[in-house]
Amino acid sequence: MAERGLTPYRFLRRSLGGAAAQAAALPPPRGEVLFRRCEPEGSLARVLAYWRRRRGGNAMPRRQDIDPVDIPSLLPFVILLDVVGDPPRFRKRLVGSGIVQKEGVESTGQWLDEGVNPVIRDEVIRQHVEATRSPAGSCYAVEFTGNDGKLYSYHRLLLPLSSDGEKVDMLFGGVRFLPAMLPERGCWRPS
């Protein structure tokens, strides 16, 4: 784990229960979870481009500048969080249906710090706080080996929104889930 830019964390996944939720949800990780900064790619690059268009000449867009009608193909993997107080807490205002399916739990309306495993909570909160302080937001890759032996990876982009053009009061972003990989002769291949 001495690789630069990677931070190990143990992770625990909550679940809705039921066969449909279990079949679609990411498996619980086995061992450590790695976080590293990354550049937005694919659908996250489109979320970023949309955010940049909507901000115009401002440092960041307002919530009312973000219209779901503009991005229907991205909506299943979009997230919107309220930023409340100082130090900030984060309430999930919108969690796209694709994210809910992969997480196996509906978390819209929940506080982020109450739904994240305590072992990784500080790192996850730090990444969200970072997004409130950086005009460019933050983007992280998350990687772990599931209890099924496959390598899972997803990228999370968080971008600031402001009602007054100065104070960040919401985060807008998305999640991009990558195909699971299986170990094969010392390499990973798509499952």
Share above pLDDT 90 across residues of the chain, in percent, rounded to a whole number? 57
Kind and range of the H or E run holding 46: helix 43-55
pLDDT: which is higher, 116 or 160:
160
Contact indicator for 83, 132 with CB cutoff of 8 Å: yes
pLDDT: which is higher, 102 or 37:
37
Locate the DSSP E strands across the chain. 7-10, 29-37, 78-84, 89-95, 138-146, 151-161, 170-177, 181-184, 187-190
pLDDT of residue 12: 29
d(CA 105, CA 124) in angstroms, rounded, equals 18
pLDDT in tens, 36-88: 999 999 999 999 999 999 998 899 999 999 987 899 999 999 999 999 999 99
d(CA 130, CA 98) in angstroms, rounded, equals 25
Across the range 165-169, mean pLDDT stands at 92
Per DSSP, the three-state class of 160 is strand
Domain ranges for the chain, please list them: 7-190
pLDDT of residue 185: 60
Is pLDDT at 158 greater than 70 in this prediction?
yes
d(CA 128, CA 171) in angstroms, rounded, equals 8
Question: Cβ contacts of residue 72 below 8 Å, gap of 6+?
Answer: none
In the predicted model, what is the mean pLDDT of the chain?
A: 83
Is pLDDT at 89 greater than 80 in this prediction?
yes
Is the pTM higher than 0.85? The answer reads: no
Note the residue count of the chain: 191
Across the range 13-35, mean pLDDT stands at 56
Topology adopted by domain 7-190: Beta-Lactamase (3.30.450)
pLDDT of residue 173: 96
pLDDT of residue 115: 85
Kind and range of the H or E run holding 109: none
pLDDT of residue 81: 97
Is pLDDT at 137 greater than 50 in this prediction?
yes
Residue with tokens 């061992």: 31
